[in-house]
Amino acid sequence: MMELNGIKPAAGAKHAKRRVGRGIGSGLGKTAGRGHKGQKSRAGGYHKVGFEGGQMPMHRRLPKRGFKSHLLKYNAEITLTTLEVLGLPEVDMLTLKQAGVVAPIAKVVKVIHTGALTKAVKLTGIGASANAKAAIEAAGGSIA
């Protein structure tokens, strides 16, 4: 039976921590693997991420450009192919969320013209691009 006082880690799982700066014979004496002088050799001497020794850092040298809208997460788009696969005669926001096609937090859904649609589908409360609208109406569907 195994006893708590007999438990040992797997062979090779633990190894002794290297004690640096304990004399020349240890192989890591004197400068203890830190090289000579400079900020990195000193205790407490380090810098924050992106620091370039006082030179103007890259993230400040380059111009600011663009932004990411925080409202995009509420927008979703579906394709004509997705509508074809769903195979429902009437599609609204709730059915799309239940089918797992759009995220539960989506507030605006738009159909885009990718793929083909053969079945007639009635869309309620869902937008569509001009080409998608034409394809849906050509298949006998409608957008409300």
What does the alpha-carbon distance between residue 12 and residue 86 come to, in Å, rounded to a whole number?
55
Going from N- to C-terminal start, the domains of the chain cover: 72-143
pLDDT given for residue 32 in this prediction: 94
Asked if residue 144 has pLDDT above 90, the reply is no
Q: Which has the closest alpha carbon to 74: 110, 100, 98? A: 110
Structure token pair of residue 36: 């000579």
pLDDT digits over 11-26, tens only?
999 999 999 999 999 9
The pair phi, psi for residue 137, each rounded to 5°, is -70, -35
What is the second-level CATH architecture of the domain 72-143? Ribosomal Protein L15; Chain: K; domain 2 (3.100)
Q: What is the mean pLDDT of residues 30-47?
A: 91
What does the alpha-carbon distance between residue 31 and residue 130 come to, in Å, rounded to a whole number?
71
| Statement: the pTM of the whole predicted model exceeds 0.75 | no
